[in-house]
Amino acid sequence: MNVNIANNETTTPCKLADAAQPVGAPSSAKLDLIIEGGWVVDGSGERRYRADVGVLDGRIVAIGELHQHTAVRRIDARNKLVAPGFIDVHGHDDLMFIQKPGLPWKTTQGVTTVVVGNCGVSASPAPLPHNTAASLALLGDIPLYADMERYLATLESLQPQINVAALVGHANLRLAIMRDPAAEPTPQELQAMQALLRQSLAAGAVGFSTGLAYEPGCYASQAELEALARVAKEFEALHTSHIRNEGNEVEQAVEEVLSVSRNSGCAMVISHHKCMMNANWGKSERTIANIDAARAQGTQVSMDIYPYSGSSTILIPERAHLIERIKITWSTPHPECNGMYLADIAVQWGCDKEEAARRLLPAGAIYFAMDEQEVQRIFQHPCCMVGSDGLPNDSNPHPRLWGTFTRILGRYVREDRLLSVEQAVRKITSLPASVYGLVKRGQIRPGYWADLVVFDPDTIIDRATWDEPTLPSEGIEMVAVNGQIVFPPPDPAQTPSTRPGQVLRRQPPA
């Protein structure tokens, strides 16, 4: 799909110049920034080439040999790679743009754009006064926004540090409309949910997300999902899904959302695709075969992963005896247990693990139940993107929050040689820009927004671990968002403190 976002622009092919044939601004123009001497990995998947990159007014305006140009600032990128800014397609930073707007867990690993509102929960619309859901804890504890327009307008007024595109959560739609969100919606309630989704998409949301493993999303029928997906299709928006089951019934869960996409015509993304618990390891061979068959028949389906063998979400007591290693990331009644393993807590309290889990609620956890080889196999699929699924509200978070993208380039590319740098960069730049309709993003081309990363391919690596999950990555040399450098953090005494990110609103269909 190709949804137009911002400035009514359309994506058009543009031939890049080689080092001897600069394109863009005339040599007389003074540029804001020149990144010189680096190897350009342009996001297309094609081989790198050596060139300078010139930026003016937030855009890439020249590529090639730019020594004759003058610039306010020059960055020496010799022996480094210059890539488009990384796009995190699966974030839960909806409210962090308001609470912790510096977003260092993004900028230190090269992320310049994030898609929020995943897994069925988003910053808007707010629930009815008597409604709530445990999954809302993924976002934090400040009030949600009445509607998408108010949320996006608030982000714009606060000026985001990086670019942000938003999905509207299916759980929010149920909680905002249904008196009993655990029930089947009446025809009137379903129509009201469709109207609220339509309003959110008209305000600029890029699609809607479902969290079918959580309440109240788990109560939704396929017919309800298709009714909402048809609304998204009207806007050429998409549907992303945390599917109903990632364990014993993972194949059926994948088939359900594929059917929703086929029957509605709505493009979709399977979020953080995985097969949980040992008995299900290897089932991705069959789920991917089904995805490939659907794609061959014209269904627009993609997926994303994070490069770790442990997952993280709210603490679910029913999983306590199914998964051996569960680490507590936060607990409201027992914060002293943050960072401890559930089995150790149960021994300390003299009870079984399920009882200990119930005492900890509300809480979050990391579940060690995935196969690393399977994660890598899914990652290598051509339609697979990368999303951190980081939970910045957790006091002891999963290391994916700080290390996802540098782990991809350091471990999966340099150490394990799963893909070339060029192929991997495509997965975290131009592919998500195409899937989510982020116009003039995701590639280094004249006229594109200057979201840029300079990194050292020999040293880039994640440092966040299970025990020290907030250690910043290494090897990222510079990050620019819309032409302004956000990492390393600029000196506030010399540089205005204005944050350069943009809210990327989906444009209404013509």
Residues 124, 228: one domain?
yes
Residues 333, 288: one domain?
no
Residues 273, 398: one domain?
yes
Give the pair of three-digit tokens for residue 246: 């990632």
Which CATH number covers residue 274? 3.20.20.140
Which amino acid would we find at residue 96?
M
Residues 30, 150: one domain?
no
Whether residue 241 lies inside any domain: the answer is: yes
Residues 97, 242: one domain?
yes
Residues 290, 343: one domain?
no
Domain span including residue 53: 23-83+442-487
Residues 276, 171: one domain?
yes
Residues 242, 293: one domain?
yes
Whether residue 496 lies inside any domain: the answer is: no
Residues 471, 347: one domain?
no
Task: Give dist(CA 135, CA 125) in Å, integer.
Answer: 15
Residues 266, 412: one domain?
yes
Residues 364, 400: one domain?
no
Whether residue 508 lies inside any domain: the answer is: no
Which CATH number covers residue 452? 2.30.40.10
Tens digit of pLDDT at every position of the chain (510 positions):
433 344 333 332 233 333 334 566 666 679 999 999 999 999 999 999 999 999 999 999 999 999 999 999 999 999 999 999 999 999 999 999 999 999 999 999 999 999 999 999 999 999 999 999 999 999 998 899 999 999 999 999 999 999 999 999 999 999 999 999 999 999 999 999 999 999 999 999 999 999 999 999 999 999 999 999 999 999 999 999 999 999 999 999 999 999 999 999 999 999 999 999 999 999 999 999 999 999 999 999 999 999 999 999 999 999 999 999 999 999 999 999 999 999 999 999 999 999 999 999 999 999 999 999 999 999 999 999 999 999 999 999 999 999 999 999 999 999 999 999 999 999 999 999 999 999 999 999 999 999 999 999 999 999 999 999 999 999 999 999 999 999 999 876 655 568 999 999 987 554
Q: How far is CA 102 from CA 105, 497, 501, in A?
A: 9, 11, 11
> Which is nearest to 115 in space by CA: 2, 209, 202?
209
Strands (DSSP E) found in 102-229: 111-116, 163-169, 207-211
Whether residue 497 lies inside any domain: the answer is: no
474 bridge partner residues: 461
Number of domains in the chain: 3
Residues 268, 349: one domain?
no
